[in-house]
Structure formats: structure tokens, C-alpha cells
Amino acid sequence: MQETLQRILEEYRQNEGNLITILQSLEAAFGYIPEDAVNWFSEQLDIPPAKFFGVATFYAQFHLKPRGRNIITACCGTACHVKGAERIINSLTRELQIPSGEDTTEDKEFTVEKVNCVGACSIAPVVIINKEVHGKMTPERLMKELKRLKKGK
Amino acid sequence: MDKNIEIKICMGTGGMAAGGKEVMAAFQQSLNEAGIKAAVSENCSVHQVGCRGFCARDVLVDVVINGEKTTYQYIKPDMVERIVKEHIVGGEAVQDWTVKEDYHTFHEKQIKVVLADCGEVDPEDIDSYISREGYEALKKVLSGMTPEKVISSIEASGLRGRGGAGFPTGVKWDFARRAPGDVKYIICNADEGDPGAFMDRSIIEGNPHAVIEGMIIGAYAIGAMQGYVYIRAEYPLAVERLKIALEQARQRGYLGKNILESGFDFDIKIKLGAGAFVCGEETALIASIEGKRGMPRPKPPFPAQKGLWGKPTVINNVETLANVPPIIRNGALWFARFGTEKSKGTKVFALTGKVKNTGLIEVPMGISLREIIYDIGGGIEGERKLKAVQTGGPSGGCIPAEYIDIPVDYESLARMGSIVGSGGMVVMDETDCMVNIAKYFLEFTQAESCGKCVPCRIGTKRLLEILSRITDGRGRPGDIDLLITLSEDVKAGSLCGLGQTAPNPVLSTIRYFRDEYEAHIYDKRCPAGVCKNLLTYTIIEEFCKGCTMCARVCPAGAIVGEKKQPHRIVQEICIKCGACFETCKFKAIKKG
């Protein structure tokens, strides 16, 4: 961890970064924003941790808890909404038995999250599975994809 | 047999989702394998191109032989071999797979200015852009136009901001030009946050150099030496292509020091948005580039006076900037020919929802909704009835079917209680509930409200609560008037555009679909059959064949019955997901 933090700090200094670029680098490196990392940066830069968390909680891109190995993002844009995004999300949380109020399975295999719009409205409804865009999704097709992912572990 | 063969494969986000990469690999493999290249021609190339708008038909492939273009639709990798064999080698197009009449009617009424080169140029190859008059406008500007002349051309063209507000671009540039100070900035707002709009993504994915060229011209006009593209991290492909394009532009001397020997210095940096809808608002966007929470501040001072790091700053939307090079190349009058008196030029719309042909379209301002929906869009899916068109995303409103002959321009849509906005156009049919749509948008704006000002933070929350209880069947008499009063207060009292427009979806649906609200509140009924709590699913015994399909798809196990006997839904267990309704082949399930 230490090495990664050092590298991010150097990038920050070279590129005249700011709090958002640091948090983006942390998110890219760890998949979430570890509290220890924030505290370390806070000391290095003499910026209170509250400033970091203020920014981190403002933007949807930052996560304060570790996320699953597979990340399934359901688009909730208007076009996806009228084409049945809710059914798709319901089928996902049901199938993966994600505890209510959470977005990740207990075994940290899957995270299900919603996104406002990925801008692929003409192939709605859209689901992104591990960064790959899948259009015209149905609950049935999604269940097949889930099976494939579960086997692949 | 010396043929000039070009194969263009659609590789926007839509094309890739449909397997564009695999199709491209299949073409390359198939062409190499059979030694086709050697057999038919040395001049055989396979290119990726950006979105041409009709993503629902992807993967779309153009095969151009000696200038003659054939377009194929729904292409999968295993179909490639036959195309190569019969068409490229044999000279006979595979008619089963080519696009039909409806593909052409989709394009007929469109006029492409911004999208003209999307689907034609290879977005990762600057020479491809240059071969289609790319960077000619920049050369024209730097070799003989003063900044004032550039600004007056843009003013004369009548170009207005395509991001939503419709502010005249030339006037904005002029403000920044006149603002005192040596350091100025130009920002391209590519934080396309409106759900249901994706033109900015497609333009950057399909023709990034047009945006860059527009930005350089804008920078020259206002006197900026540094520019930023603030782009959503949710658009990884657009970011990647933009990075490549910027690097190529630098290598060719279109960016950097002393551009084209003119003495003008300018460069562009990419700033990734971190996911906040409010950052589409100018002052919030500036705060976000500075690394802060993206919260808006009161205006004035306007960004053109005091923007990024306190310096004069112009913020233009992607589509606005992409309009600049063609205006400079062809002249302001050429551009002003399109459109209406106050809304000049063309506008790109994302036509989605319940129309047959979904996709990205570019039409002259002033075209009617009817032409868009029925001529370009091909009508409503499943021959159902059109109910409303939602324009302008969460800041816009719903226009009911009886008004589809109004012209689409800034003024007309505003009179209808909606806006052009960034250009989202979601078509809804009789199976869509207008109260649910209003609630959907309020869920969005309530979650995206930055929380700085009270009317927006608490007002949207209360609006959402009232809408939620109406859709849950707990609506009270007086709720409609309460919604209207509260909406007016939120509009009047909010600090920025988000709060000032957030109630629009509520007000416009009440204005045109008040009866639907009343049905929810007084009859506890959802006429469109969408709101779950107001729905019951029952099985009509005489139609049920006992095929057990419904029982098998029911995720809650709420359907009981013996094989070949009528089944029954246990209402206490039913979660009203509608899976049975969609599965039943005998129309034996009643929703209502």
C-alpha cells in the first residue's frame, strides 16, 4: 500500500493535482477509498481528512467500502427506466441475495450498482458487467450471464 | 481486378456492445486468410468509425467498393465470411442482410452538420478527419481572421448553446473577450448528465477532432491559452479517443506553442468528472475542476467575468463546439439557412423509448415532433398509441400526443412547459404512467441536489414524498394543488438551474395529465398499469390451460395449481413483478 500511496503523491505533485485527482487515483488503485490512505494523505499534505471525505461523499464515483469482485452496473436512465430497468435490478438483487440497504454480496463476489445514464439509450435497457456494455438486456439473459460469472470464479 | 475496397465498422459504445470489435477482427481475419487482399486489390482497408446514429441496428457495416456503398445491419462475426466471399470477392451484395427501406427513411429527413462525419471518419486517425476538410476552419481563422471577426461570424450564424439554456454562443465569447485580464480559459462541458441524452458521447467517440478544432477556434476568439475538457468518467471510450485525438493534434502542430506558425499558443487538458449531475452547471463544474465539491455559487459574477481560478472563462457544450468548424468553413449565412427565426441550425436529439427506430438524429430546428416520431422514428413500437414525448431530461417536461405538430425549437418547447435541453427525447406510449415518470425524475433530481440551498434540497425531497405516496395509493385530496404550489416555490427560490427546473416534469405532467393524478389519488387506480401498489394480477380461469409457465417464472412462488388445471395467484405472496403477465401465451393473466 505504501508504495502505491507514494506513487500517487508524486503524480499529484507533478501534475498539479487536487483532492479529486488523488481520490480518483485511490479509487483506481484500491477499488475504493481506504480510510488509512486518506489519513496518510491528510498528514502528507496537511489537509484535514474531513476535506477529503467531504469531496469523496459528494461524488458518485467514490466508494468508502470495498466492492465486489464482479461489478454489475444497471443503467437507470430515462430510456432504460421506461424499458424496464427496475425489473432487471429487482431480478439481480433477488438472485444474488444482496442484503437490503447494501450493494455487495456477503462473500464480496458481486456488487450491484445503479448509474444515472451511460448514454447508450438506443439499446436500452443497458447493463454493464465488469466494464462491458450489454444492450437490450432481459432478466433471463442476465441470469445466464450471472451463471457464467459464478462458474468463472 | 483492381478494386478500391473500404470496410467501415460502427464502433461507438453501441457498436461495441453489439460485438463491433469481434466483427472487425472477423473481417481482418477473413480477408487475410483467403489471400483476398492479394486477390482483389491492394487497396483494401478495414476501418472503425463512430456512431452513425442507428445503434439499434448494430453492428452496422459499410462495404464500399469503388465508391459504391452497401450497408449491412445486425452483423455478427459468423456472418462476415459470407459477406467477404459473395460481396467482396464475388461482387454480389448479400441482400438478406443489407439495410432495407426503413434504414433510409430514418436518414431522409435528417440534415447532418455536427454528425456529418460521424460514421465516416476513423475517430482514431487524424488524417481521416483532415481528408474531410478537418482543421481547414482553423487554418482560415489563423491565417486572416481577427478574434473579433470570428466572434461576429458566430454571432451572425445565430448559434445558441446546445447544452440546454440556449444562450447565444457569440455573445458569450464576446463577454469573455472583453473581460479584462491576460489569463483566460475555455472549457468544453462534456459532463453529459441528462439521462436519455448521449449526443455528446457519440460526437466525441465519432469525431473528436471536430470538438478540438472548435475549442481551438473559441480559445483564439476569447484569448485563452489553456482549455479543459470536463468529461464524464462513465464514458471510457470517449475519454480514450479524446486522449488519442489530442496527442495527434499536438504532433501535427494544431495544439501547443505557436500553432500553425501564427504565434498563437493553446493546449487542452482532460479533467474527468467524478459523477455529479449538478456539475453540468457552470459554476459547479468550475468548482469540480478546482478539486472541490461541485456546488454552484450565485451569479453574477458570471464565469465570463470570474470563472476558473477567478479568471474569465467560457464554458461551451460539446455539440456547440462541434458546430463551430462547419460555420467558419461554410460561412454564417450557410448555417443560418437551417432552422427557424430564433433557433438557427440543426440540433442533435437522442430519440429513444417506445419508438421503432431508436438512435441519434440530427434535424433542422423547427421540424415537428410528428415528423421525428413517425417519419424518422418509424412510429410507436408494437403499434401502440403515442402518449407523450419527454424532452429535456430532468429539467424538461412531457409534451402530450395532441401537440405533436408543434415545431421543435427553443421557444415553442418552452411555451409547452418543456425545454430543448441537451436533446433527450424519450417517447412514451399508453403503457407509461405519467405520475411514475414525474416521480422518476424527482428521484433523480432529489438525489442529485447538491444540498447547498434549502428550496432545492428540501423542496425536491417533499415533492418526491408526495409523488411517492400518490403512486403507492396513499394520495390525499389536495395533493395536486400542494404539488403545484411547492413546485412554484422551488422554481422561484433555488440557486441554480437544477432546482429552478427540477419541478418541470411535475408541473408539465399535471398540466396535461391531471386526470391520471386524480385516478391515482381518488380511485386508487393506475390507468397505465405501472404503479405496483395499485395493481393486482389475477388469472382468468377460463383462459388458463394449466401449462405451468407462469408458476415456473414466478420469482416469489406465488402461483399455485395442478398441471392442466387453472392456476391461481396468491395475492399475499405476489410481488407484482409482472413476469407471469409477460410469459403467459394465452392472455390468461389480467392486470388491473
Residue B277 and residue B362 share a domain: no
Q: Going by C-beta distance under 8 Å and a sequence separation of 6 or more, which residues neighbour residue B115?
A: B52, B53, B202, B203, B206, B348, B360, B362
Interchain pair A121, B18: CB under 8 A: no
ipTM of this model? Answer: 0.91
User: Please, are residues B63 and B88 in contact by the beta-carbon 8 Å criterion?
Assistant: yes
A48 contacts chain B (CB < 8 A): no
Phi, psi dihedral angles at B402 (to 5 degrees): -70, -10
What gap in Å lies between CA A36 and CA A69, rounded to an integer? Answer: 21
CATH number of the domain at B438, please: 1.20.1440.230
**Kind of pairing between the strands at B313-317 and B267-273:** unpaired
Residue B440 and residue B561 share a domain: no
**Residues 7 to 66 of B: which have CB under 8 A from any A CB?**
13-14, 16-18, 54-56, 58
Return the DSSP state at B185: E
What CA–CA distances, in Å, run from B56 to A115, A125, B12, B18, B44? 21, 12, 12, 9, 28
Report the residue from A87, A115, A134 with minimal CB separation from B17.
A134
Return the DSSP state at B134: T
**Placement of cell 412547459 in the chain:** B417
**Is residue B161 in some structural domain?**
yes
What would you report as the CA-atom Rg of chain A, rounded to the nearest whole angstrom? 18
What gap in Å lies between CA B460 and CA B444, rounded to an integer? Answer: 10
**Is residue B511 in some structural domain?**
yes
Interchain pair A133, B16: CB under 8 A: yes
What CA–CA distances, in Å, run from B210 to B121, B220, B228, B242, B270? 11, 16, 15, 11, 16
User: Please, are residues B358 and B351 in contact by the beta-carbon 8 Å criterion?
Assistant: yes
What gap in Å lies between CA B332 and CA B158, rounded to an integer? Answer: 8
Residue B257 and residue B132 share a domain: yes
> What average pLDDT does the segment B554-571 reach?
92
Report the residue from B56, B197, B275 with minimal CB separation from A60.
B275
Q: At what angle do helices B199-206 and B318-330 cross, to 10 degrees?
A: 60
What gap in Å lies between CA B345 and CA B335, rounded to an integer? Answer: 6
What gap in Å lies between CA B132 and CA B121, rounded to an integer? Answer: 8
Q: Residue B193: is its pLDDT beyond 60?
A: yes
Q: Residue B39: is its pLDDT beyond 80?
A: no
Its domain, for residue B261, covers 126-336
Q: A with B: how many residue pairs have Cβ under 8 Å apart? A: 140
E strands, B205-284, where?
226-232, 267-273
**Is residue B296 in some structural domain?**
yes
**What's the pLDDT tens digit per position in B56-110?**
898 999 999 988 999 999 999 999 999 998 998 888 999 999 999 889 889 999 9
**Confidence at residue A62, expressed as pLDDT on a 0 to 100 scale:** 95
Interchain pair A82, B354: CB under 8 A: yes
What CA–CA distances, in Å, run from B403 to B365, B421, B544? 17, 18, 41
**What's the pLDDT tens digit per position in B532-557?**
899 989 999 999 999 999 999 898 89
Q: Going by C-beta distance under 8 Å and a sequence separation of 6 or more, which residues neighbour residue B130?
A: none
Residue B449 and residue B399 share a domain: no
User: DSSP string covering A84-126, please?
Assistant: THHHHHHHHHHHHTPPTT-SB-TTSSEEEEEES--S-GGG-S-
**Is residue B413 in some structural domain?**
yes
Q: Residue B148: is its pLDDT beyond 70?
A: yes
Domain boundary among B429, B461, B489: B429
**What's the pLDDT tens digit per position in B421-468?**
889 999 999 999 999 999 999 999 999 999 999 999 999 999 999 999
**Confidence at residue B459, expressed as pLDDT on a 0 to 100 scale:** 98
pLDDT band at B484 (very low <50, low <70, confident <90, very high): very high
CATH number of the domain at B173, please: 3.40.50.11540
Tally of structural domains, chain B: 5
CATH number of the domain at B92, please: 3.40.30.10
Domain boundary among B411, B429, B447: B429
> What average pLDDT does the segment B261-283 reach?
95
Domain boundary among B372, B405, B429: B429
What count of other Cβ atoms lies within 10 Å of the Cβ of residue B299? 14
**Kind of pairing between the strands at A127-129 and A110-115:** unpaired
Interchain pair B358, A122: CB under 8 A: yes
Query: Sign (positive/negative) of CA torsion B113, B118, B121, B122?
Result: positive
Q: Which residue type occupies B176?
A: A
Contacts of B430 in chain A (CB under 8 A): none
Percent of chain B with pLDDT over 90: 83
Contacts of B14 in chain A (CB under 8 A): 120, 122-123, 135
**Is residue B114 in some structural domain?**
no
Report angle CA B231, B237, B240 to the nearest 5 degrees.
Answer: 75
> What average pLDDT does the segment B210-216 reach?
98
Q: With 0-12 CB in 10 A as exposed, 13-18 as middle and 19+ as buried, what is A122? A: buried
Nearest chain B residue to A95, by CA: B555
Burial B71-109 (b: 16+ CB within 10 A, else e): bbbebebebbeebbeebbbeeebbeebbbeeeeeebbee
Residue B332 and residue B351 share a domain: no
CATH number of the domain at B420, please: 3.10.20.600
Residue B166 and residue B89 share a domain: no
Closest CA to B10 of B244, B202, B196: B202
**A121, A126, A141, A143, best to mutate vs chain B, most B CBs in 10 Å:** A121
Residue B265 and residue B319 share a domain: yes
**Is residue B118 in some structural domain?**
no
pLDDT band at B34 (very low <50, low <70, confident <90, very high): low
Return the DSSP state at B572: T
Cell readout for B70 is 452497401
Contacts of A139 in chain B (CB under 8 A): 579
**Confidence at residue B3, expressed as pLDDT on a 0 to 100 scale:** 75
> What average pLDDT does the segment B315-344 reach?
96
**Confidence at residue B88, expressed as pLDDT on a 0 to 100 scale:** 87
3-state secondary structure of B11: coil
Contacts of B201 in chain A (CB under 8 A): 119
Q: Residue B244: is its pLDDT beyond 90?
A: yes
Reading phi first (left if > 0) and then psi (alpha if -120 to 50, else beta), residue B220 is in alpha
Q: Residue B1: is its pLDDT beyond 60?
A: no
Residue B469 and residue B439 share a domain: yes
Contacts by B27-30 with C-beta closer than 8 Å and gap 24+? B27/B61, B27/B80, B27/B84, B30/B80, B30/B81, B30/B84
**Confidence at residue B30, expressed as pLDDT on a 0 to 100 scale:** 86
**What's the pLDDT tens digit per position in A12-33?**
999 888 999 999 999 999 999 9
User: Please, are residues A57 and B547 in contact by the beta-carbon 8 Å criterion?
Assistant: no
Minimum distance, in Å, between the CA of residue B405 and any CA atom of chain A: 23
Residue B280 and residue B157 share a domain: yes
Residue B243 and residue B130 share a domain: yes
Q: Residue B290: is its pLDDT beyond 80?
A: yes
Peptide bond into B168 cis (omega under 30): no
What gap in Å lies between CA B592 and CA B590, rounded to an integer? Answer: 6
pLDDT band at A87 (very low <50, low <70, confident <90, very high): confident
**Is residue B106 in some structural domain?**
no
**What's the pLDDT tens digit per position in B511-531?**
999 999 999 999 999 999 899
Which structural domains are found in chain A, ordered by start?
Answer: 2-58 (no CATH), 70-151 (3.40.30.10)
**Confidence at residue B37, expressed as pLDDT on a 0 to 100 scale:** 63
Beta bridge partners of B538: B590
Contacts of A81 in chain B (CB under 8 A): 195, 440
**Confidence at residue B276, expressed as pLDDT on a 0 to 100 scale:** 93
Q: Residue B176: is its pLDDT beyond 60?
A: yes
**A57, A86, A116, A136, best to mutate vs chain B, most B CBs in 10 Å:** A116
Cell readout for B243 is 486522449
**Confidence at residue B575, expressed as pLDDT on a 0 to 100 scale:** 86
> What average pLDDT does the segment B323-335 reach?
97
B180 contacts chain A (CB < 8 A): no
> What average pLDDT does the segment B236-265 reach?
97
Residue B561 and residue B499 share a domain: no
Closest CA to B364 of B588, B154, B158: B158
**Is residue B202 in some structural domain?**
yes
What gap in Å lies between CA B18 and CA B38, rounded to an integer? Answer: 30
**Confidence at residue B579, expressed as pLDDT on a 0 to 100 scale:** 84
**What's the pLDDT tens digit per position in B571-587?**
999 988 888 998 899 99
Residue B139 and residue B225 share a domain: yes
What would you report as the CA-atom Rg of chain B, rounded to the nearest whole angstrom? 26
Q: Supply the mean pLDDT for chain B.
A: 93
**Confidence at residue B121, expressed as pLDDT on a 0 to 100 scale:** 94
Minimum distance, in Å, between the CA of residue B268 and any CA atom of chain A: 14
